[in-house]
């Protein structure tokens, strides 16, 4: 005790305050050591990189919270003192730090309700990206889309405040069953054999989706335990629509969200190769043509020229 008293006198700090400072240093040192040990333990016991990252992050938050409470207990004596301190502190924080508090509430919502996890592809408002980190005040996404087409990455990092989850709709590409529906449209001319074209497209889609059918069904069955998900038809389909310049055929099929562009490219290449061999099918594109109803129209639907005008004169 004599050495402590001498140190207190030399520094001009009361013995009680000096003890609190020493206790604070000890708590911080213990927090750092335990944090490093917990990260090493997680790294050795957890193989999945996403789970390892999340567990390391959560353990760090827990140890940090315990350290803050321990330090506060050292400096604030008595239950009434703690209650008074936190009452005054919370009143000031609620006014001055409204946005950060909203972000912390959003962080708790993300951790507890799990609208998305690290590794998911999501859309928040107008922003699309892959979640790479979730922090107390914001989550971080690797941007997708923007000036890059077909859901490809831009290379930019988006820092989104956690409070955005309360103000914007969140679209999760991976939460349901890991696949999304994609559609590709093409138009053939009215003169084309559209039934042959449709059968050709259906055969191409069946070949493309043959390898994922079992996996999709298993994931849908698994998701049905937590979400009311029902798909009457998971197989690809081709839908027929008449538009002003021809017959539009819409290909609809399932693909992983990160393979949307590559799957579309493979399908288009097969379509181009197949249609090049079909003499009765031609792509429709914007053109201008002259149609003589009297000579080209159907026999029962042709316009009748006036009696004093010959058909040849009408065509001229």
Report d(CA 86, CA 72) in Å as an integer.
10
Please tell me whether residues 136 and 207 are part of one structural domain.
no
Please tell me whether residues 209 and 76 are part of one structural domain.
no
Please tell me whether residues 52 and 156 are part of one structural domain.
no
Residue at token pair 């990092």: 157
Residue 163's domain comprises 116-172
Which pLDDT band, with edges at 50, 70 and 90, does 86 fall under? low
Please tell me whether residues 181 and 63 are part of one structural domain.
no
Say what the pLDDT of residue 271 is. Answer: 94
Which pLDDT band, with edges at 50, 70 and 90, does 88 fall under? low
DSSP-H helix ranges across the chain: 2-11, 15-45, 49-75, 79-96, 98-113, 164-167, 194-209, 213-223, 260-275, 293-296, 311-315
User: Has residue 111 been placed in a domain?
Assistant: no
Q: Could you tell me the CATH number of the domain that includes residue 181?
A: 3.30.70.100
The yes-or-no verdict on residue 216 having pLDDT over 90 is: no
Please tell me whether residues 181 and 149 are part of one structural domain.
no
Say what the pLDDT of residue 275 is. Answer: 93
Provide φ and ψ at 274, rounded to 5°: -70, -45
DSSP-H helix ranges across 114-249: 164-167, 194-209, 213-223
Last residue of a domain, one of 49, 64, 96: 96
Q: How many domains does the chain have?
A: 3
Question: Quick one: 277 exposed, middle or buried, by C-beta within 10 A (0-12, 13-18, 19+)?
Answer: exposed
Residue at token pair 């859309």: 123
Please tell me whether residues 149 and 191 are part of one structural domain.
no
What tokens were used for 95?
Answer: 């006014």
User: Has residue 44 been placed in a domain?
Assistant: yes
Please tell me whether residues 197 and 313 are part of one structural domain.
yes
Please tell me whether residues 203 and 283 are part of one structural domain.
yes
Helix axes 260-275, 194-209, angle to 10 degrees: 140
Please tell me whether residues 210 and 252 are part of one structural domain.
yes
Q: Estimate to the nearest angstrom the gap between the alpha carbon of 136 and the chain centroid.
A: 20
pLDDT, tens digit (0-9, with 9 covering 90-100), for 95-110: 666 777 788 889 999 9
What tokens were used for 160?
Answer: 């989104």
pTM reported for the whole predicted model: 0.60
Question: Do 165 and 106 touch, CB atoms closer than 8 A?
Answer: yes
User: Has residue 50 been placed in a domain?
Assistant: yes
pLDDT, tens digit (0-9, with 9 covering 90-100), for 160-197: 999 899 988 899 988 877 788 899 999 999 889 999 99
Report d(CA 12, CA 28) in Å as an integer.
24
Question: Do 133 and 139 touch, CB atoms closer than 8 A?
Answer: yes
Residue at token pair 């009434």: 80
- CA distances to 53, 100, 221, 246, 313 from 137, in Å: 17, 7, 35, 53, 80
Please tell me whether residues 184 and 168 are part of one structural domain.
no
**What value does the mean pLDDT take over residues 269-296?**
84
User: Has residue 101 been placed in a domain?
Assistant: no
Please tell me whether residues 145 and 48 are part of one structural domain.
no
**What value does the mean pLDDT take over residues 117-143?**
90
3-class SS of residue 74: helix
The yes-or-no verdict on residue 81 having pLDDT over 60 is: no
User: Has residue 87 been placed in a domain?
Assistant: yes
User: Has residue 102 been placed in a domain?
Assistant: no
Last residue of a domain, one of 153, 172, 191: 172
User: Has residue 129 been placed in a domain?
Assistant: yes
The more confidently predicted of residues 250 and 125 is 250
User: Has residue 7 been placed in a domain?
Assistant: yes
Nearest alpha carbon to residue 190 among 270, 251, 277, 280: 280
Please tell me whether residues 164 and 184 are part of one structural domain.
no
Q: Could you tell me the CATH number of the domain that includes residue 138?
A: 2.30.30.60
The yes-or-no verdict on residue 91 having pLDDT over 80 is: no
Last residue of a domain, one of 172, 188, 217: 172
Say what the pLDDT of residue 306 is. Answer: 63
Most confident of the following: 101-110, 220-229, 293-302: 101-110
Write down the mean pLDDT value for the chain: 80
Which pLDDT band, with edges at 50, 70 and 90, does 83 fall under? low
Conformational region of residue 109, where left means phi above 0, alpha means psi within -120 to 50, and beta covers everything else: alpha
């Amino acid at each position: 005790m004599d050495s402590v008293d001498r140190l207190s006198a030399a520094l001009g700090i009361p013995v009680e305050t000096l003890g609190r400072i020493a206790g604070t240093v000890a708590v911080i040192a213990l927090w750092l050591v335990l944090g490093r040990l917990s990260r090493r333990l997680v790294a050795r016991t957890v193989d999945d990189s996403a789970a390892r990252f999340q567990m390391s992050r959560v353990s760090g938050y827990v140890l940090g919270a315990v350290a803050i409470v321990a330090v506060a207990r050292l400096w604030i004596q008595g239950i009434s003192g703690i209650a008074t301190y936190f009452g005054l502190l919370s009143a000031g924080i609620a006014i001055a730090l409204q946005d950060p508090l909203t972000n912390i509430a959003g962080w708790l919502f993300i951790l507890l309700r799990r609208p998305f996890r690290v590794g998911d592809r999501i859309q928040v408002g107008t922003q699309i990206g892959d979640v790479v980190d979730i922090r107390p005040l914001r989550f971080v996404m690797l941007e997708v889309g923007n000036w890059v087409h077909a859901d490809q990455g831009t290379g930019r990092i988006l820092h989104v405040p956690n409070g955005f989850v309360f103000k914007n709709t969140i679209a999760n590409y991976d939460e349901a069953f890991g696949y999304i529906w994609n559609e590709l449209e093409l138009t053939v001319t009215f003169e084309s054999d559209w039934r042959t074209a449709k059968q050709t497209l259906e055969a191409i889609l069946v070949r493309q989706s043959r390898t994922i059918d079992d996996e999709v069904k298993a994931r849908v069955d698994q998701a049905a335990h937590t979400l009311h998900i029902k798909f009457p038809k998971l197989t690809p389909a081709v839908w027929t629509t008449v538009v002003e310049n021809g017959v539009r055929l819409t290909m609809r099929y399932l693909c992983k969200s990160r393979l949307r562009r590559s799957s579309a490219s493979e399908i288009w290449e097969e379509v181009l190769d197949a249609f090049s061999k079909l003499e009765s099918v031609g792509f429709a594109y914007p053109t201008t043509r002259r149609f003589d109803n009297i000579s080209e129209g159907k026999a029962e639907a042709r316009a009748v020229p006036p009696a004093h005008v010959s058909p040849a004169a009408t065509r001229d």
